[in-house]
Structure 1
Amino acid sequence: MTRGAKRAAAWLTALAVAGFMVAPAFAERLVVSLSTHRVTIAANFVGEDLVLFGTIEPDPAGQQLRSIYDLVVTVAGPKKDFRTRRKERVLGIWVNVDAREFVRVPSYLAVLSNRPAKEIAGPDVARRLQLGLDNYILTQRIGPDFADTVRDDPFRTAFIKLEQEHGMYYEKPTSVTYLTPTVFRATIPLPSNAPIGTYNVDVKLLGGGELLTRTTTALEITKVGIEQFVADAARDYGFFYGLATAFLALLTGWFASVVFRRD
Structure 2
Amino acid sequence: MTPLWQRLSPLARGVFLLAVLAFVALPKQSRAIEVDLSSHLVAITAGFSGDKILLFGSINSPGEVLVVVRGPDADFKMHRKEQVAGIWMNTATMRFEKIPSFYAIAGTGPLEEIASPTTRALNGIGFDHIGLELPVTKAAGRIAEQWKDSLLRNLLRAGNYQLASAEIVFLGEHLFKTEFELPANVPTGSYSVSVYHLREGQIIDARTTPLSVSKIGAEAEIYDYAHHQGTMYGIFAIVIALVSGWMGHLAFRKG
TM-score category (smaller protein):
0.7 to 0.9
TM-score, structure 1 length as denominator?
A: 0.76
User: Deviation per CA, 1:132-164, whole angstroms, max 9, x where unpaired?
Assistant: 33443325455379x9x89x8111111111111
**Selected match of 1:46 from 49, 59, 62:** 49
Shift of 1:174: 5.3
**Selected match of 1:81 from 41, 57, 75:** 75
Q: What corresponds to 1:104 in structure 2?
A: 98
1:143 paired with 2:141, answer no
Shift of 1:217: 0.5
Matches within 5 A, 1:103-252: 103-138=97-132, 140=134, 143=137, 153-172=145-164, 175-252=167-244
Shift of 1:33: 0.4
Q: Which amino acid aligns with 2:57?
A: G
Q: Which amino acid aligns with 2:108?
A: N
Q: What corresponds to 2:33 in structure 1?
A: 30
- Quick one: structure 1 residues 221 and 170, their matched pair in 2 at CA, closer, same or farther if it must change by over 3 Å? same
User: Deviation per CA, 1:49-108, whole angstroms, max 9, x where unpaired?
Assistant: 110111113xxxxxxx3x3x2222111112110011222222222222222211111111
User: Deviation per CA, 1:211-244, whole angstroms, max 9, x where unpaired?
Assistant: 2121101111122221012012113322222211
- Quick one: structure 1 residues 221 and 143, their matched pair in 2 at CA, closer, same or farther if it must change by over 3 Å? same
- Quick one: structure 1 residues 251 and 131, their matched pair in 2 at CA, closer, same or farther if it must change by over 3 Å? same
**Partners of 1:72 and 1:131 within 8 A in 2:** no
Query: By percentage of residues, which structure has more helix?
Result: 2
Q: Which amino acid aligns with 1:223?
A: K
User: Deviation per CA, 1:13-67, whole angstroms, max 9, x where unpaired?
Assistant: xxxxxxxxxxxxxx7522110000011111222111110111113xxxxxxx3x3
Could you tell me how far apart the structure 2 residues matched to 1:245 and 1:174 are?
41
Give 5+ residue unaligned stretches, structure 1: 1-26, 58-64
Could you tell me how far apart the structure 2 residues matched to 1:143 and 1:134 are?
19
Q: What corresponds to 2:3 in structure 1?
A: none
Identity %: 32
Q: Which amino acid aligns with 1:153?
A: E
Matches within 5 A, 1:10-29: 29=32
Q: Which amino acid aligns with 1:104?
A: K
TM-score, structure 2 length as denominator?
A: 0.79
**Partners of 1:196 and 1:222 within 8 A in 2:** yes
Alignment partner of 2:184: what SS?
coil
